[in-house]
A and B are shown apart, each in its own frame.
Chain A
Amino acid sequence: MPAASNDGAAIDDAASTGTANVTIPTSDLASDQADSVDGTPVIDPPATTAGPETTDGDPPADDAKPAEPAWPDDGCSADNTPSPTEAADAPAPVLEIRTESAASPLPDLAVRRINCNGGWVNLRNELPSELPLLVWFWAPH
């Protein structure tokens, strides 16, 4: 993995102005992506809802077709209702990278989701996305 020193200095130096230049070292990250990309989607795909069953082979009427979700259902609640998740004591799994995320600048790293649907996700699969992605770096203490 890339070293933090240069980029960390950049964000610290810019603190006085309220903004920081975070540069994701894509050149370093690219070195490990070739080994891990195999084109298989992985991040907990949203549950799919089967359409209504038909017995005669006719396709279901359009108005009976389930609506396509505008955004993957990650189990997070729109109204912020709790979705507690247990922390599983297990080593991080190896998670594959979506084909479309092969060029994502995010690190190829399994991280544990501790709310919403729980489970593990590969951080690299967060991009590309339909919308801009705000990443909030936090720590418990």
Chain B
Amino acid sequence: MIGLGTQDSANDAIEFVESRETYSFPMYWDETFESWIAFGVTSQPAAALLSPSGEVLGAWLGAFPADEVLQLAAST
């Protein structure tokens, strides 16, 4: 799992990480927005599950369903 953040500033992003205590997976900061554009993401939160080779297994806008994500991930 990775977090892919954008909008606002890098310092805001770091404050977010510290306040949410997200240290168990990489949190990335993209100041260009280009990563979201590449995924077609226009609002957040959102999530996408990709197979090891890059196939899109699922995508969600808003909170993502953990059970469904785990089920899809296990099916690969």
Contact = CB atoms under 8 A, between A and B. Distances in A.
A7 B4 contact: no
Task: Name the residue among A7, A29, A80 with the largest chain B CB count within 10 angstroms.
Answer: A7
A126 B2 contact: yes
Assign chain A's interface to a size class. 35 or more
Interface residues of B, number: 64
Contacts, number: 225
Interface of B: 1-18, 21-32, 34-54, 56-62, 64-65, 69, 72-73, 76
- Mostly, the B contact residues are mixed
Contacts of B29: 87, 111-114
A137 B4 contact: yes
B54 A11 contact: no
Contacts of A29: 38
